[in-house]
Amino acid sequence: MTSIPLQCRCGQVKGTAHDINPRKGLRVVCCCDSCQEFANHLGQESITLDQFGGTEVFQATQSQITVEEGQDKLHCLRLSKKGPLRWYTSCCNTPVANTISAKMAFAGIIHTFMNVDNRDEVLGPVKAYVQTQHAIGTPDYPTSSPKFPLGLIAKIIKNQLIENIKGRQTPSVFFGNDKRPRVKPIIVNL
DSSP 87-118: EEETTT--EEEEE--TTS-EEEEEGGGB--S-
pTM value is 0.92
DSSP 14-67: EEEEEEE-TTTSEEEEE--HHHHHHHHHHT-HHHHB-TTS-EEEEEEEGGGEEE
pLDDT at 58: 95
Burial class (CB in 10 A: 0-12, 13-18, 19+), 83: middle
Residue 93 to residues 10, 37, 39, 88: CA-CA distances in angstroms? 9, 14, 9, 6
Decide if 175 contacts 181 (C-beta within 8 A).
yes
SS3 175: strand
d(CA 35, CA 3): 25
Report strand pairing: 26-30 vs 128-130. Answer: parallel
Sequence spans of domains, the chain: 2-187
Q: Any residues with CB less than 8 A from the CB of 116 and at least 6 apart, and which?
A: 4, 5, 122, 123
- Averages of pLDDT over runs of 10 residues in the chain (190 residues) are 93 96 87 96 97 96 94 96 94 97 90 94 93 94 82 76 77 92 88
d(CA 79, CA 85): 8
pLDDT at 25: 80
pLDDT at 159: 76
pLDDT at 70: 98
d(CA 13, CA 150): 35
CATH code at 2-187: 2.170.150.70
